[in-house]
Structure formats: C-alpha cells, structure tokens
Chain A
Amino acid sequence: MKKRGISPVIATVLLVAMIIVVGLIVFLWFSGMTEETITKFGGTNVKLVCDDVQFQSDYNSGILSIVNIGNVPVFGMKVKIFSEGSHETKNLKDDLSGNWPKLGLNQGGAFSDSIEFAGAEKIVLIPVLMGSSDKGEKTFACEDRYGHEITVE
C-alpha cells in the first residue's frame, strides 16, 4: 500500500499563504485595539508630559483661580464636580467660563473667573494638554491623579 499526500512545494506555498493571511488579520485586529498615540514636545508620549504639568489653583468666594507655574502649556481644564455621592465632569472652557484663554494657559499664564458650583462638595481640576497624532492636533486629558482637589465651601 502506497501512502500519498500533497507535495512539499504545494505544502510550503499553502503554509506561506496562510501565515500571511493570519498575520494580516492579527495585525488589523491588534491595531484596532491599541489607542492612538498622542505626543508632545517632539515625540514624548503626552501621558508622560502630564508628569511635568505644574499649576496652582484656588476657589475662594466664588472665584476660581488657576496659575500655570510650570513649563507645559495647559490647553484646557476638565472639572470633576462631586456632589451628593456622585460626580459629573465639565469642561472649564466650554461649559463653565468664557474667560479661559483661547490657546490655554502658557507659561506664567493666569485665569480667574467667578464660577458657581451649586451644591458641590469638592471639585477636581484635571489638566488637558494639546498634542500631536497621526491625524493632526489632538487634546488629551491627563489622568485623575494629576488633578488638583479643591474643597468647595
């Protein structure tokens, strides 16, 4: 009895074709899962730049004050408002104040405006940075741990 199978050449061609197709599928699947990389200052991931943001903030007599004392321009500010066990997030520039500078707070930039946080117990100010990605300029909100917590009296 003679055992016969496909020839080594056909097997190799099939193997190569399968690897290419499977590799392509895995690549497309994986690239869809990974988030878009946003960089700042010539290629540093914006997540790392959040470490270098330095700003001071204060809320007193209904006036919110923020000063950028560092060297990273702060494009915007996310405000997390905590009240009665829940919280909502607002954008300082679009939702709360018309005084926020159009291009954000550059080095030494200061912001001050009368803002009412009715019923709020505390707020957390989270910096938003402007970075670059393959699709152009993009904003990036730093993680909550970079935020400043202010108790609202």
Chain B
Amino acid sequence: MSEEIKKRCLLIFKFPNSKKGISIMIGYVLLITFAIIISAIVYQWIKTYVPREALDCPDGVSIFIDEITCQAGILNLTLKNNGRFSIAGYFIHATNTSEQELATIDLSKYISGGGSSRSNSVIFTWNENSMDPNEERKSIFYLLTNINSVEIIPVRFQVQDNKKRFVSCGNAKTKEIVNCVGEFFCGDGICNPGEDCLNCESDCGPCTNDCGDGVIESPEQCDGEELGNGTCASVLGDGWIGELSCKADCTFDTTACELEKKIIFVSSRTYQGDFSSITAANTMCNDSASEANLSGEFKAWLSDSSQDAKNLILPDSGIPFYTTNNIIVADNSTDLLNGTIQNPINRNEYGTINDTLVWTGTDEFGDAIVGDNCEDWTKDNKQSTIGNSSQKNAQWANYQSVTDCIDMRSIYCIQIN
C-alpha cells in the first residue's frame, strides 16, 4: 500500500527518484511570494516618509518700504523690490495700537489702486511675478480703521511639480511704523467719497441750485440728457451694462442697467470618462444648454495632455460667473482660478440642485493634472481627477483621483461667449 502511494505521488509531481524536489520548489515559491508581499507593504508605508521639496521662497527675495504716508484715511505705500527675484505682490497686515506686537489686521481688502485683492493678498498681476528687481510700485488703500504699523510679506508664483504655486515669502517680512487715522471726516480739506455740498460744504464747496438747466454742476451727477461720461459701468462698477439715464433730481437712474455675467453649470446628464475628446464634451455642454434655453456658447471645464481648462477663460474679461439660479460663483476669471470659489457650482442647466461628482482632469487653478484624464478622455480603464459640485474650496475641481473612468459622472459647462 505504501509503495502504491509513493508511485502515485511521484507521477503527479513528475519528479521521479527524488523525495526532496517538491518541498524545495514550493519552499522557493513561498519564500519569493512572501518577500514580494512584505516588500510591497513596507514600500507603501515607507514612501510617505520620503521628504519632498518644501514649497519655499528663494533666499534672495526681499522687499522694502520705500515710502509710506497717510492722510485722511488714505494710505500711500511705495514698495521697492530690493531682492534678486521678481515678486507677484504681498500680504499686508497692520496693528492698530502700539502695544500690539504682531500685525493681524488684513489691509488687502482696502486696496484702491496699485494692485488688486486676491486671497488675502495684494497682487499686481495675477499669475505673474510682475514686480522685477529694483522696481518700485505704489499702492493706495482707503482705510476704514486706524493703524499703527504695517507688516508686509512678499508673495511669488513658483512652478513646482509642473504646477504654478502661490508662495508666501515669510522670511522676507518687513515692518514700518505709521500712524494713520482711518476715517474720512468732514473738514479734512478733501471732498471724500460720500461727502458732497449738502453734508460737507467746507470740503466740497457750496451747492448750486440749477438742476434741469442741462448743464452738470456740482453736486449734480447728471442733468437731463447730459450724463457727462457716466455709464452703467462707471456708476455701478465693472461688469454693468445697459442704458444709464438721469432722474429729475439730477442723480443717475440705474434701473435699466444690468450685470453682465457668464453662466456656469454642472450637467444633469452623466457620461463615462471615455467620451472621446474635449470637443465632444463641448458639444454635450451646448446640447444641454440649448435644451434648457440657455443662450451663448458653452465649453466643458476639462483639461487633457494638450490643453488646460483655464485657457477657456483667459485673458480675464472681468465678467463674473453665476450659476443658473443667479448665485455668484466668481467675480471674474482670476477669481475663478484662485483655488476657491464663492459658491458651489451645484445647479444644472435647468437651475436644479445637483450635488454630484464631476469629471475635470483639472486642479483648482485650472491647470491640467498630468496623466489624470482617462487618457485624454478615451479610456474607461484609466484614472482621472474629479471635482465635487457641492464644494466651494479646492475640491470643486480637484476632489480626488479615481481609477474608475467607466463610471457615469457629470461635467461642468462654462459660458465663453
């Protein structure tokens, strides 16, 4: 019986005349398999401990406050780039008492000229390091608060991992003492915004009483058909269009003005990630818009290996973006591309709420995420970046990377004309 079992076993494993062959072979296979599995586990764990290059400014970045003056709440600041690198702008904080050591009052929201407020900073030109070494820039702030000192931290745009990053140069911080009463007051000798001959004759001069004579005289804004150079935009701000007229009391009538805007929506229809191309997605967007009676030309907010979504809306026209139910998303293209949006893009073409996951292949700054676009939207077994339409932080566009391009998801559609 024993001889019979032995013969059968040797036949099965085809190792005649060897009692050790089977065990050694299986031993090797087991050993190698274990080694591979353990190596994979250890690699996954240990790779997170590999340090990456930190996002940091070069040492040669430096800025200095050349001149700072303050009168009647108007702060004039002249900065000089005395470093070796160009910068994009600066963070500006202030103290309001001499006891306060650390400046925490954000002044960027009071910027009136010489830059614009973006992400708590003053930026000269978005996405560019436009202030070169040895260059001087002036900025004006209309303050509504008293300040005692200002602290300035330069900021730059730097490319890291093929992406343009916004970098704070904390080591180049500079400070200056300035006493500034941040309030307009009647009697300061300047006809400030909000003052006129009625409420501040000493600063703005005496009123005249000839409204209706067809001639604009202070404090009249207009007179009959005479509007001066007034337009909806000059009265209400950039982005307003329509017909401005004059009321009987010689003030502007803006009832016929309307805000120029562009629509952005998340499609009610869903698609697999292999819809073939961005051109095909553009057609899908326009079909959805037409069905919902939305006018204008729409394009899909997608990137691939040859184009970044941000180029759909650059250069910045200054026109704000709204959802289909008239909720503001961004003040302009620059605002849309600064990493966060003001409200989620969670309305579909019909104005209905649609909190869902969205194909983007794009980060929150409108740049393509390389290799994360279902292989240029052609493969259902590749990976892609998706956005989350319920979010207004960076996740609106860059929620996560998924490996299931076969899933059905929506797309963002943005009006370009």
Q: Is B173 an interface residue (CB 8 A)?
A: yes
Which residue of chain A is the closest to B170 with respect to CB atoms?
Answer: A69
Q: Are A108 and B91 in contact (CB under 8 A)?
A: yes
Q: Are B168 and A43 in contact (CB under 8 A)?
A: no
Q: Is B381 an interface residue (CB 8 A)?
A: no
> Considering the chains assembled together, what is the distance between the CA atoms of A45 and B103 in angstroms?
32
Given contacts A70-B168, A107-B168, contact A60 B99 (CB under 8 A): yes
Residues of B within 8 Å of A7, CB to CB, are 5-6, 9
Interface residues of B in 43-81 (CB under 8 A from A): 45, 47-52, 54-56
Residues of A within 8 Å of B34, CB to CB, are 23
Q: Is A48 an interface residue (CB 8 A)?
A: yes
Write the nearest CB–CB distance from A29 to chain B, whole angstroms.
14
Write the nearest CB–CB distance from A128 to chain B, whole angstroms.
17
> Considering the chains assembled together, what is the distance between the CA atoms of A127 and B235 in angstroms?
46
State how many residues of chain B have any CB contact under 8 Å with chain A: 45
Which residue of chain A is the closest to B96 with respect to CB atoms?
Answer: A112
Q: Are B170 and A8 in contact (CB under 8 A)?
A: no
Which residue of chain B is the closest to A65 with respect to CB atoms?
Answer: B102
Interface residues of B in 1-57 (CB under 8 A from A): 2, 5-6, 9, 13, 19, 22-23, 26, 30, 34, 45, 47-52, 54-56
Q: Are B30 and A16 in contact (CB under 8 A)?
A: yes
Q: Which of A12, A34, A56 contacts B102 (CB 8 A)?
A: A56
> Considering the chains assembled together, what is the distance between the CA atoms of A62 and B286 in angstroms?
58
Which residue of chain B is the closest to A4 with respect to CB atoms?
Answer: B2
Q: Is the interface of B mostly helix, strand, loop or mixed?
A: mixed
Q: Is A51 an interface residue (CB 8 A)?
A: yes
Interface residues of B in 113-128 (CB under 8 A from A): 119-121
Given contacts A60-B101, A108-B119, contact A54 B170 (CB under 8 A): yes
Residues of A within 8 Å of B168, CB to CB, are 68-71, 107-108
Q: Which of A19, A39, A48, A71 contacts B55 (CB 8 A)?
A: A71
Write the nearest CB–CB distance from A151 to chain B, whole angstroms.
13
What 0/1 readout, one digit per residue, does chain B (165-179) give for beta carbons within 8 Å of chain A?
A: 111101001000000
State how many residues of chain A have any CB contact under 8 Å with chain B: 44
Q: Which of A37, A51, A112 contacts B45 (CB 8 A)?
A: A37
Q: Is the interface of A mostly helix, strand, loop or mixed?
A: mixed
Given contacts A51-B54, A63-B100, A103-B393, contact A108 B26 (CB under 8 A): no
Residues of B within 8 Å of A67, CB to CB, are 93, 102-104, 151
Residues of B within 8 Å of A60, CB to CB, are 99-101
Q: Are A57 and B102 in contact (CB under 8 A)?
A: yes
> Considering the chains assembled together, what is the distance between the CA atoms of A107 and B101 in angstroms?
20
Q: Is B414 an interface residue (CB 8 A)?
A: no
Residues of A within 8 Å of B155, CB to CB, are 107-108
Q: Is A110 an interface residue (CB 8 A)?
A: yes
Q: Are B99 and A61 in contact (CB under 8 A)?
A: yes
Given contacts A12-B22, A71-B56, contact A48 B49 (CB under 8 A): yes
Interface residues of A in 34-64 (CB under 8 A from B): 34, 37, 39, 41-45, 47-48, 51-52, 54, 56-58, 60-61, 63
Residue among A103, A106, A107 facing the most chain B CB atoms (10 A cut-off): A107
What 0/1 readout, one digit per residue, does chain B (148-167) give for beta carbons within 8 Å of chain A?
A: 00010101000001000111
Which residue of chain B is the closest to A70 with respect to CB atoms?
Answer: B170
Which residue of chain B is the closest to A41 with respect to CB atoms?
Answer: B52
What 0/1 readout, one digit per residue, does chain A (63-80) give for beta carbons within 8 Å of chain B?
A: 101111111000000000
> Considering the chains assembled together, what is the distance between the CA atoms of A47 and B51 in angstroms?
10
Q: Is B308 an interface residue (CB 8 A)?
A: no
Q: Which of B45, B47, B56, B119 contacts A106 (CB 8 A)?
A: B119
Q: Are B51 and A44 in contact (CB under 8 A)?
A: yes
Q: Is A147 an interface residue (CB 8 A)?
A: no
Residues of B within 8 Å of A109, CB to CB, are 120
Besides A44-B50, A107-B167, A112-B105, 11 new A-B residue pairs in contact (Cβ under 8 A), listed by A number: A11-B23, A43-B47, A44-B52, A52-B55, A58-B100, A58-B102, A61-B100, A67-B104, A70-B170, A71-B56, A108-B120
14 contacts between A and B (CB under 8 A): A8-B19, A39-B48, A43-B48, A44-B52, A47-B49, A57-B102, A60-B100, A67-B93, A67-B102, A67-B151, A106-B120, A108-B155, A110-B104, A110-B105
